[in-house]
């Protein structure tokens, strides 16, 4: 019997797959569909202190090998997702869920953390430090000083299970610096990676950008992101304290992609673009594909290969 069960801290999940924040998780109806699916759990859309309409459309476009988006954090606001999570945990006490939150500036993170800390929420909170699509705002995690200031402020008051969603890093020195910083905080997990910030796609028929916001610049997801996601998961697994779990996100289209993220050290794997394009059936398909690979190799549980990437001596 093959098991896809996994664990983050004391939280147990029956399946290693879940949605990535921003995909199929804006409304209570979408969240309910995730909860009823084979996914191990769910994460909400990144909630900001107040609801936001986001950027003008078109702001998402599927591409041959993935997607580009500049959504601008449209969301129903923290209260909406907190209300959902509180009602959900009463109905499903055995199914812990993730709440993603994002600040429009450093001060927002204190507001968000305080509100969740003061609530009865018992799940995991994902602080999104990496939204690349808000005009005029840098990605927080590309600025070490601001990241440190935000994490200091969060963990001064926040005592519940928490993690951070990170943008992709590309330089080994960046991994060293960010991991050294993250290791100082009581993080349950990191989630790596968010979209590759600021790609550009052109419609050849019209010589026009395929999305409207920011002159066509947007975050890239899907197959384009896979090697970067693998490198980020691997690099952080080699540098973070063993107790900090890693959620691997980016570039999943097949069971092999899921397998590869786990091989690099992912404890959980999220679906972004593939879920957007294929919908809820993606969870069953990818679970079956992953189980088939594990069966071929004689593996019955994720621990049989998690983090066991071979390198060439």
Ligand X SMILES: Cc1cc2nc3c(=O)[nH]c(=O)nc-3n(C[C@H](O)[C@H](O)[C@H](O)COP(=O)(O)O)c2cc1C
Residue 6: burial class (beta carbons within 10 Å; 0-12, 13-18, 19+): buried
Binding string, residues 240-269; x marks residues near ligand X by CB under 6 A: ---------xxxx-----------------
Decide: is 214 part of the binding site for ligand X (CB under 6 A).
no
- Does the active-site annotation cover 264? no
Residue 72 interacting with ligand X (CB under 6 A): no
- Contact flags string 109-148 toward ligand X, x per CB under 6 A: -------------------x--------------------
Catalytic residue among 21, 131, 192, 287: 131
For residue 106 the two structure tokens come to: 């450093």
Q: What is the DSSP letter of 144?
A: H
Residue span binding ligand X (CB under 6 A) among the ranges 27-35, 67-75, 180-188, 294-302: 67-75
* Residue partners of 109: CB distance under 8 A and separation at least 6: 101, 103, 127, 150, 153, 154
Q: Is 130 a catalytic residue?
A: yes
Give the Cα separation of 80 and 157 in Å (integer): 22
Complex with ligand X: residue 102 or 299, whichever CB lies closer: 102
Residue from 225, 231, 290, 302 in contact with ligand X (CB under 6 A): 225
3-class DSSP state of 197: strand
Distance CA 116, CA 172 (A): 34
d(CA 65, CA 196): 13
Contact call for residue 195 and ligand X (CB under 6 A): yes
**Does position 221 bind ligand X by CB under 6 A?**
yes
Closer residue to ligand X in complex, CB, 82/252: 252
Tell me: cis bond preceding 58? Omega within 30 of 0 counts.
yes
Tell which residue, 286, 226, 250, has the closest CA to residue 37.
Answer: 286
- Binder of ligand X out of 17, 271, 282, 290 (CB under 6 A): 271
Pick the closer one to ligand X by CB: 6 or 273.
273
Place of tokens 């093959």: 2
**For residue 44, what is the DSSP state?**
P
User: Shortest approach of ligand X to residue 21 CB, angstroms?
Assistant: 4
Q: Kindly list the residues in this chain that would bind ligand X in the complex (CB under 6 A).
A: 20-23, 45-46, 60, 67, 69, 71, 73, 100, 128, 165, 194-195, 221-222, 225, 249-252, 271-274, 276
Active-site residue list = 130-131
């Amino acid at each position: 019997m093959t098991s896809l069960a996994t664990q983050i801290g004391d939280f147990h999940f029956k399946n290693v797959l879940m949605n990535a924040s921003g995909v199929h998780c804006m409304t209570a109806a979408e969240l309910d569909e995730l909860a009823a699916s084979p996914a191990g759990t769910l994460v909400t859309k990144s909630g900001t202190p107040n609801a936001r309409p986001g950027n003008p459309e078109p702001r998402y476009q599927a591409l041959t090998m993935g997607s580009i988006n500049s959504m601008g954090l449209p969301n129903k606001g923290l209260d909406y997702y907190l209300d959902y999570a509180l009602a959900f945990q009463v109905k499903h006490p055995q199914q812990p869920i993730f709440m993603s939150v994002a600040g429009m500036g450093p001060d927002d993170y204190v507001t968000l953390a305080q509100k969740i800390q003061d609530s009865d929420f018992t799940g995991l909170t994902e602080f999104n430090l990496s939204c690349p699509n808000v005009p005029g705002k840098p990605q927080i995690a590309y600025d070490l000083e601001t990241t440190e200031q935000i994490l200091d402020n969060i963990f001064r008051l926040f005592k519940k299970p928490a993690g951070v969603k990170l943008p992709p890093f590309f330089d080994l020195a960046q991994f060293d610096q960010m991991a050294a910083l993250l290791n100082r905080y009581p993080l349950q997990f990191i989630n790596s990676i968010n979209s590759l910030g600021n790609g550009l796609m052109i419609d050849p028929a019209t010589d026009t950008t395929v999305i409207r916001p920011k002159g066509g610049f947007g975050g890239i997801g899907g197959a384009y992101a896979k090697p970067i996601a693998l490198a980020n998961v691997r690099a952080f697994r080699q540098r973070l304290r063993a107790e900090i779990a890693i959620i691997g996100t980016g570039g999943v289209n097949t069971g092999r992609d899921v397998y590869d993220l786990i091989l690099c050290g992912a404890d959980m794997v999220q679906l972004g673009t593939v879920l957007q394009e294929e919908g809820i059936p993606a969870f069953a398909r990818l679970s079956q594909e992953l189980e088939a690979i594990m069966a071929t190799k004689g593996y019955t549980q994720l621990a049989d290969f998690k983090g066991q990437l071979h390198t060439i001596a």
